[in-house]
Amino acid sequence: MNNKNLPSLDTLESALSKLPGVGTKSAERFAYAILNLKEEDALAIAESILEARKKIHFCPNCGLLTESETECSLCQDDERDHSLLCVISSPKDFYPIEKSGSYHGLYHVLKGSIAISKGVDANDIGIEKLIHRIENGNFKEIILATEPTLDGETTAMYIANLLKNGPYQITRLGYGLSLGSSLEYVDGLTMERAFEGRRKI
Ligand SMILES: [Zn+2]
């Protein structure tokens, strides 16, 4: 960084380095690549960032990403099974589950997992809102699909304990998923098996 007399290039590099996995060197490479683009292509990148940030927000009901003004299309979809609720740790986990075609219920997205070592507790990830939704809903089964990591397990057990007296089944994905993996990278077949093999807790 520190380009002589090119403060706008410094600004671009420092903005790009905020992306995950982009260090100083990569930010520099991307910044030069952007400068080498045709002006219309560079502007298209800038405009698509603004547009996505402006239009996409979290569904107030389930927490999935949506461009809808009110609830997301999935929450409003009568073809989905409204008696099933799948709890996930991140909006990103929605895509591999949907792609596997093994689930047709509703979702609830938490803001991550409880991580005691990092000082993240139940309040920080929106568990209160989840419990409120379940207590005021008509669910037959709550599927805890938090990440197969130590924090994801802790979160699932915490939620299961809060819900243990409810009139619904609480299940956890039967993982052919290995502990420590990320749902984001699970293939369709493994996900399908994980849903088929979900167990009561
Ligand atoms: Zn929704």
Query: Which CATH class for the 80-200 domain?
Result: alpha beta
Which uninterrupted H or E stretch holds 155?
Answer: helix 150-162
20 CA → ligand 1 middle, Å: 26
Looking at residue 54, what is its pLDDT? 95
141 CA → ligand 1 middle, Å: 18
180 CA → ligand 1 middle, Å: 28
Looking at residue 41, what is its pLDDT? 97
Domain boundaries for CATH 3.40.1360.10 within the chain: 80-200
Which uninterrupted H or E stretch holds 159?
Answer: helix 150-162
90 CA → ligand 1 middle, Å: 13
60 CA → ligand 1 middle, Å: 7
107 CA → ligand 1 middle, Å: 7
100 CA → ligand 1 middle, Å: 19
Looking at residue 177, what is its pLDDT? 63
Looking at residue 103, what is its pLDDT? 94
Query: Considering the entire predicted model, what is its pTM?
Result: 0.79
155 CA → ligand 1 middle, Å: 21
Domain boundaries for CATH 1.10.8.420 within the chain: 7-55
66 CA → ligand 1 middle, Å: 8
Render each residue's pLDDT in the chain as its tens digit; 201 residues: 455 689 999 999 999 999 999 999 999 999 999 999 999 999 999 999 999 999 999 999 999 999 998 899 999 999 999 999 999 999 989 999 999 998 999 999 999 999 988 999 988 999 999 999 999 999 999 999 998 888 998 999 999 999 988 999 999 987 666 666 677 777 787 888 888 778 888
Q: CATH number of the domain at 7-55, please?
A: 1.10.8.420
Distance from chain centroid for Cα 16 = 22
> Cα dist. 104→15, 16, 17, 81 in Å?
39, 37, 38, 6
109 CA → ligand 1 middle, Å: 9
34 CA → ligand 1 middle, Å: 36
